[in-house]
Amino acid sequence: MRKGPSDLADIPLFATDEAISSAFLGPGKTSEWRQIAALLETRGLPKIDALMGGRYVPAVRAFFDKEYGLIDRAPRLAPSGVEDLGAWNRERPKQRRVRPV
C-alpha cells in the first residue's frame, strides 16, 4: 500500500490538530477532530504542548492503543504550563548570613 502525505510517519513528533486529523481521520476533517479531541482530553488524550505548539504524536497514538486495549498503561500528558528555559542560567539571590551574637 502506498503511503499518503497524511500518514503518521510523515508528520512531525509535535503536530498541529490539522496534521493529526488528516493522519487519523483523513483530509478535511479538522473541525471534527477538534470536537473529538476536546472530549477525549478528559479521558487522557494528550493536550497541545504550549512550548512545542502541537500534540506529541507518539502519545496520541499510545492513547488510542490504550483505548482499544493494545497497551495497558496511559501516556504522559503534556507539561503543565509554559516552561522558562532561561531559568537555569539565572543567579539566585544571595542569602544573608546571620552572625551569632
Mean pLDDT of 44-63: 95
Q: Residue 12: what pLDDT?
A: 94
CA distances to 20, 40, 74, 79 from 63, rounded to whole Å, are: 13, 10, 7, 16
Q: Residue 76: what pLDDT?
A: 62
Least confident of 17-26, 29-38, 84-93: 84-93
Q: Between 34 and 87, name the one with better pLDDT.
A: 34
Confidence of residue 52 (pLDDT cuts 50, 70, 90): very high
Q: Residue 39: what pLDDT?
A: 94
